[in-house]
A and B are shown apart, each in its own frame.
Chain A
Amino acid sequence: MNPSVDALRGIFGAAVGRAVELRGETIVYVDPRRLTEIMRWLKHTAGQSYDYLVDVTAVEYRDRERPLEVVYFLRSLERRVDLRLKVELDPRADLVVDSVTPLWRGADWLEREVFDMFGVKFTGHPDLRRILMWETYAEGYPLRKDFPLRGRFSRAEQVRQALNANPEAHYSMEELSIAEAYQELPEDMRDRLARGERDKIPGSE
């Protein structure tokens, strides 16, 4: 068992739930309300220094009684130790958890992917948009267990919506203004990007 678990228990007490050791890796369940505190402590405390966020992902189980889990893979580069944190959310309620982007800038796209596929809302995320599916995608969150494999709409409706999506609207204003090329775009394209195509496609089911 990773000694960080006992250290966490000592500091955060009841906010740290059960811990499991599986094939040499430690998984510790924590309270979603104190996630940011715990993460900050794990990152900045000497002797812990989990400075590298390897991945953020989520799991929903087929058993409807089991909560949906958001999983954080941490690694300390200097100590060469891994720690896995899990946060449990009720899949029937709103899926909301604090974003860890203030601590690890690299969590940006990882959290966007979890939002895109599971609908978990990360509060405090700077730019929470879909990342794999296009922004007008209206069928829901594909990796949720209640999502049918072939999608919710008929194939014809899927093709229609896909063809109506604007491939130029995949970038946020922030991304484009950083790129500086934004000012050099033609007026009509800038206008279209400013409006975005984030709403539903007209005439959708």
Chain B
Amino acid sequence: MKHVLESKEIAGSPNYQTTRFDTLVSWVQAILQKTGADKPLDWAVNASRANSLWPMPFGTACCAIEFMATAASRFDFARFGMERQAFSPRQSDVLICAGRLPFKLAPVIRRIYDQMPQPKWVISMGACASTGGIFDNYAMVQGIDTIVPVDVYVPGCPPRPEGLLYGVLLLHKKIKGESLIDSALRNEHPLDATGLRLPPEKIDEISEPFGNSVHQFRSA
């Protein structure tokens, strides 16, 4: 992923640099902290953010079909402010990974995540995106949390539209609990020098087989 960070497009974007806007935000945060006015402002900002989430769908498998059902008229997640689906990372708030993620797509989803402006959240939809699911093999990422940070995991194979809607509502709840003063929430976490998001031991631990696949050995 090094080449992505080196490329002008991303290195020059507001995501990776302290801008004048950030300075302004930190002043406002200091004032809010002093005056104790952060609570009503938090409420207003969080309500605005939660109720106008623009999803960036990253559909790779059958979960994407359920995602489309969720977006269509019967379930209609426009009711929860997700009216506009942004098929462009630059104009989106929440990345919804719907479906299995092969290793070949890992740099792609990481680049999409890096290109999304703050604030941003990630929903991992379905068993494969969350854990690798039934694909405990050489080609599949064992949970997208080894690649990008995840806010809400929606279980199911695939989850019903109600399941995804419940996940979205959970994300609303999470957003409404955020604080403007806590600037760490909006920090970018680019891949470190090892080229990984997490320490290697952590990734190995997350990727451990579970369920039926414990009966298969690595060497088998």
In chain B, positions 114-170 with a C-beta closer than 8 Å to chain A are 136-139, 141-142, 146-147
Q: Does B107 contact A (CB under 8 A)?
A: yes
A150, B218: Cβ atoms under 8 Å?
A: yes
Q: Does A158 contact B (CB under 8 A)?
A: yes
A147, A150, A154, A166: residue with the most chain B Cβ atoms closer than 10 Å: A150
A-binding segment of B18-26, B84-92, B173-181, B197-205: B197-205
Contacts of B106 in A (CB 8 A): 159, 162-163, 165
Contacts of B141 in A (CB 8 A): 159, 162
CB within 8 A of B196: which of A133, A139, A148, A159? A159
CB within 8 A of B195: which of A133, A149, A163? A163
Given A139-B138, A162-B141, A167-B111, A133 and B104 touching (CB < 8 A)? Answer: yes
A67 → chain B, closest Cβ, in Å? 23
Which of chain A's residues has its CB closest to B191's CB? A163
A148, B195: Cβ atoms under 8 Å?
A: no
B157 → chain A, closest Cβ, in Å? 20
A148, B3: Cβ atoms under 8 Å?
A: no
Given A149-B216, A151-B138, A162 and B104 touching (CB < 8 A)? Answer: yes
In chain A, positions 66-116 with a C-beta closer than 8 Å to chain B are none
Q: Does B194 contact A (CB under 8 A)?
A: yes
B104, A134: Cβ atoms under 8 Å?
A: yes
Interface residues on A, range: 20 to 34
Interface residues of A (CB under 8 A from B): 132-134, 139, 142, 147-151, 154-167, 188, 192
Given A147-B138, A159-B141, A166-B3: 11 more A-B contacts, CB < 8 Å: A142-B139, A148-B218, A149-B138, A156-B201, A156-B203, A158-B138, A159-B106, A161-B103, A162-B103, A164-B1, A166-B107
A167, B108: Cβ atoms under 8 Å?
A: yes
CA distance A156 to B207 in the complex (A): 9
A149, A151, A156, A157: residue with the most chain B Cβ atoms closer than 10 Å: A156
30 contacts between A and B (CB under 8 A): A132-B104, A133-B104, A133-B139, A142-B139, A148-B218, A149-B136, A149-B137, A149-B220, A151-B137, A154-B200, A154-B204, A155-B146, A155-B204, A155-B206, A156-B196, A156-B203, A156-B204, A159-B106, A159-B146, A159-B147, A159-B196, A160-B194, A160-B195, A161-B103, A162-B103, A163-B195, A164-B107, A166-B3, A167-B107, A167-B111
